[in-house]
Amino acid sequence: MHRLTLLLVLGGLVLAGCQDDRSLAPGDGPLAAISDGAHSGGNPDFFFLPPMVGDPSSDPNFDPGMFNGRLRPVLAVYTNFGDDCGGDLTYGPIAVPVAPDEEMYQLDWDTDAANLTAGTTYRLCVFSSLDGGTMLGFVDLLPVTGGMKNVRTEDTFAFQDGRVVPVTFRIEQGALSYDPSDPDALGTEFTVDDEGGVAVLADETQSLAAVAVPDGAVPEGTEITIVIAQEEPLYTETGTAECLPGGLLQSDWCYQIRTEPELYQFAEPVRVEICVDVSAIEEYADDLLVHKYNETEGLVELPWAEPTLIGSDCSGMGQYGAAPGFFGRLSQWARRLLAPPDLLANVLISVPKGLGGTGGSFSDFGGAVPLAALPDLEVSELTLHTPAVLPGNAISYTYTISNVGNEGPEGNSTFDAATYLSTDAVLDPADVELGGGYSAWSYHLSVGWSASVTESDVVIPTSVPPGTYYVIVVADAKPGLPPNNYPGVIESDESNNARAVPLLVTTIRIDGVLSEGEWGAVNPILVEDAGEYAGTSVYVTNDAGFLYFALRVPQPTAVEDDKFLVRFDNANNGVFDLNEDQICAATPPYTFFDCHSYLSGEDLSWSGLDERQDGISAVTSADGWKTFEVARPLASGDSFDFSLTYGGTIGFCAAYYTGNIYVSYPASCIYVGNDLSSYAKLVIAQP
């Protein structure tokens, strides 16, 4: 079809380029006009025919081989109209029969029924259907003695058989899908009733789309008009224009199939066939299914149906396809040979594939791979071997990447993994990538595949202040991006590629060793009345993020069951309250416990285990001494934990326990019951 007219759309009326090409209607009415394919600005696939207008067959838009006789157009006549069709209805709406041999639609308008008034302009309008139909064109007429005058051309034609006006017009393929913003898009349309019907949209080289409506899908006495059209990609949520929303893996070539009335629900499944270009996703071509989208129903995957009308390679020509024959094909190839190189390349590299599906309504259509057919990478395990670290030091961890989805494409998939340091467990652009935590992967993604990697030289930057952080490992972290520009993996779920574990960045290494450089400025507190554990010392300090405790106790012989614990008077009020904090390093295997006081019956008790464990501990035995180190966030955010700021004061009791013996600082603080007034006072210093 030809699309040669320059269009200007204004105020709902398609206007010609020069206003003085029209004449004014008598009186104060709007600008008189003809709107059709032979007059600038009209639908290029709709033509009024003589005697109301001149013969349009020589117009560049007129295509003798493209008549569409499969519609049920409607005629209506208005007065007091506005810019297009509407106003006071004078005649109709009435269906216009097709005259197939003459390739036109024809109706005799008996103007006696309209009670024509001299001096009144009548707008004769043609719609594609009665219910929700598209306005195809209009012509303004003025009654004169013995006939009617075309107001724009001022040509007069006589009444026939009394006061009958012969109305004739022609509709070509694509009239209902014509879009001034995309004038080269192909389209076709047809009307079906209870007997059903079939239509195929095709160009000179291949079938593009088809609809097959079975008997009984439309109730008896009802007529539904169906429009099939090519469509530009509309949805850009992934950053690239695509046929469908939702981030699916999609083929190219989009279609809109609609009904008049809009979103008509068929009583029986209707087969939809579309031709798509799979050149960009050939490895998934066999998994493609027809999908549709509209705002009412959302994104819908259609059950598979064989594309019997367009063929699996889009080479089939249906009974009603627009197939111009040998000379049309030769003309098409001639245009391709004369096309610019980039356009010719696009034509030659496409890989067409026919898809079919069944559904009960229409909308935007495209080909997409169902999510269940794709692989799905996830970091299934992440173990941090260094739960606490000093800034500028390295951490060690092991992680496993698994395919929890379907099998990937043939051969190996090439992707990467990266490691980030975050202040929370969710990856975002503010997080810092850790050097040494990047790795390249190349594996065939079979169902259930997994592989593990241990990283041991991933350094925490020296600029990172003390606090609680998260190490986040991301699979398929940088598809198409440096440093390697790996293509990555198209997955069924792109939201589960990361796993996070907490990491404490401290100014004291929690390793059970009282290093001079870490604790050297901290004065030890000698525990009095320690008995056989004389010489036991407690160390306490803080930095910007943590409160640190250490206990050094003489232990000439190995002890298998002992622990170091610190109880807190959170409010520093000397009273044993609900949710007082307690931290503990126990043996074996010297596990850290984060606890709180809780109600046991009617009494308060210690050692209610927090659901979230905030802190870390370590212990060593060497040279007759056992050393415990514990770090606890000043403010973890857990409702069971204290929240300390600079200058704040908290009470504490530190104790070493083995068997039935407690050695504590302050002395006997472990036995004070509900009176915590003897607890030592700790003021949080600003580093």
Looking at the structure, do residues 85 and 135 belong to the same domain, yes or no?
A: yes
Amino acid identity, position 489: V
Residue 572 or 24, more confident: 572
pLDDT over 90 at 257, yes or no: yes
How much is the average pLDDT of 605-623?
Answer: 89
How much is the average pLDDT of 37-52?
Answer: 90
Strand-pair partners of 620: 627
Helix (H) or strand (E) holding 328: helix 326-337
pLDDT over 50 at 3, yes or no: no
Rounded percentage of the chain residues whose pLDDT exceeds 70: 90
pLDDT over 70 at 617, yes or no: yes
Which of 195-204, 349-358, 377-386, 580-589 has the weakest average pLDDT? 580-589
Looking at the structure, do residues 349 and 413 belong to the same domain, yes or no?
A: no
Listing from the earlier edge strand, what are the strands of the sheet with 164-171?
46-48, 164-171, 104-110, 98-99
How much is the average pLDDT of 484-504?
Answer: 92
Separation of alpha carbons 675 and 687, rounded Å: 32
Question: Contact at 8 Å (CB) between 382 and 473?
Answer: yes
Listing from the earlier edge strand, what are the strands of the sheet with 187-192?
187-192, 224-231, 254-260, 364-368, 289-294, 298-301
Strand-pair partners of 365: 255, 292
**Final residue before a domain boundary, out of 437, 471, 505:** 505
pLDDT over 70 at 23, yes or no: no
Helix (H) or strand (E) holding 380: strand 377-384
Helix (H) or strand (E) holding 330: helix 326-337
Output the pLDDT for position 458.
95
Is residue 652 assigned to a domain? yes
pLDDT by residue (tens digit) across 647-671? 999 999 999 998 778 899 999 899 8
Is residue 244 assigned to a domain? yes
Helix (H) or strand (E) holding 168: strand 164-171
3-state secondary structure of 139: strand
pLDDT over 60 at 332, yes or no: no
Is residue 176 assigned to a domain? no
Output the pLDDT for position 108.
92
Looking at the structure, do residues 362 and 385 belong to the same domain, yes or no?
A: no
Q: Which residue has the tokens 């029209």?
A: 22
Output the pLDDT for position 407.
93
pLDDT over 60 at 337, yes or no: no
Output the pLDDT for position 113.
65
Give the domain CATH number at 629: 2.60.40.1190
Looking at the structure, do residues 162 and 284 belong to the same domain, yes or no?
A: no
Instruction: Collect all residues with Cβ–Cβ distance below 8 Å to 509 and sequence separation of at least 6.
Output: 388, 389, 390, 393, 515, 518
Looking at the structure, do residues 314 and 254 belong to the same domain, yes or no?
A: yes
Residue 161 binned pLDDT confidence (cut-offs 50, 70, 90): confident
Output the pLDDT for position 344.
38
Q: Which two tokens stand for residue 552?
A: 């050094």
Burial label, 547 (beta-carbon count in 10 A; 0-12, 13-18, 19+): buried
Output the pLDDT for position 185.
80
Looking at the structure, do residues 12 and 158 belong to the same domain, yes or no?
A: yes
Looking at every residue in the chain, the average pLDDT score rounds to 86
pLDDT by residue (tens digit) across 90-148? 999 999 999 999 999 999 998 876 678 888 999 999 999 887 788 999 999 999 988 99
Is residue 333 assigned to a domain? yes
Looking at the structure, do residues 359 and 245 belong to the same domain, yes or no?
A: yes
Buried b (16+ CB within 10 A) or exposed e, 19-41: eeebeebeeebbebbbbbbbbbb
**Final residue before a domain boundary, out of 309, 342, 372:** 372
Q: Which two tokens stand for residue 256?
A: 């809109």
Is residue 482 assigned to a domain? yes
Separation of alpha carbons 13 and 48, rounded Å: 18
Q: Which of 462, 289, 271 is nearest to 370 (CA)?
A: 289
Is residue 467 assigned to a domain? yes
Instruction: Please give the DSSP secondary-structure letter assigned to residue 303.
Output: P
Give the domain CATH number at 475: 2.60.40.10
Looking at the structure, do residues 130 and 164 belong to the same domain, yes or no?
A: yes
Asked if omega into 370 is within 30° of 0 (cis), the reply is no
Question: Contact at 8 Å (CB) between 514 and 525?
Answer: no
Output the pLDDT for position 331.
30
Question: Contact at 8 Å (CB) between 615 and 630?
Answer: yes
DSSP code string of 250-302: B-B-EEEEEEESTT---SS-EEEEEEEE-TT-GGGGGG-EEEEEETTTEEEEP
pLDDT by residue (tens digit) across 210-252? 999 999 999 998 989 999 999 999 998 878 899 999 878 999 9
pLDDT over 90 at 482, yes or no: yes
pLDDT over 60 at 178, yes or no: yes
pLDDT over 90 at 309, yes or no: yes
Q: Which of 273, 328, 494 is nearest to 405 (CA)?
A: 494
Is residue 640 assigned to a domain? yes
Output the pLDDT for position 32.
55
How much is the average pLDDT of 678-682?
Answer: 95
Residue 16 binned pLDDT confidence (cut-offs 50, 70, 90): very low
What's this model's pTM, rounded to 2 decimal places?
0.61
Is residue 397 assigned to a domain? yes
Strand-pair partners of 585: 564, 592
Helix (H) or strand (E) holding 516: helix 516-519
3-state secondary structure of 576: coil
pLDDT by residue (tens digit) across 431-469? 999 989 999 999 999 999 999 999 998 999 989 998 899
Looking at the structure, do residues 597 and 472 belong to the same domain, yes or no?
A: no
pLDDT over 70 at 512, yes or no: yes
Separation of first and last alpha carbons in the chain: 79
pLDDT by residue (tens digit) across 392-416? 889 999 999 999 999 998 899 999 9
Looking at the structure, do residues 541 and 589 belong to the same domain, yes or no?
A: yes
Q: CA 661, 663, 664, 667: dihedral to nearest 10 degrees? A: 100
Looking at the structure, do residues 52 and 165 belong to the same domain, yes or no?
A: yes
pLDDT by residue (tens digit) across 536-585? 999 999 998 899 999 999 987 777 788 999 999 999 999 999 999 999 98
Q: Which domain holds residue 68?
A: 8-171
How much is the average pLDDT of 306-321?
Answer: 77
Output the pLDDT for position 118.
87
Give the count of domains, the chain.
4
Rounded percentage of the chain residues whose pLDDT exceeds 90: 61
Output the pLDDT for position 355.
97
Separation of alpha carbons 412 and 266, rounded Å: 45
Question: Contact at 8 Å (CB) between 203 and 332?
Answer: yes
Helix (H) or strand (E) holding 334: helix 326-337
Looking at the structure, do residues 198 and 299 belong to the same domain, yes or no?
A: yes
Strand-pair partners of 654: 566, 665
**Final residue before a domain boundary, out of 129, 145, 171:** 171
pLDDT by residue (tens digit) across 45-103? 999 999 999 999 999 999 988 899 989 999 999 999 988 898 999 999 999 999 999 99
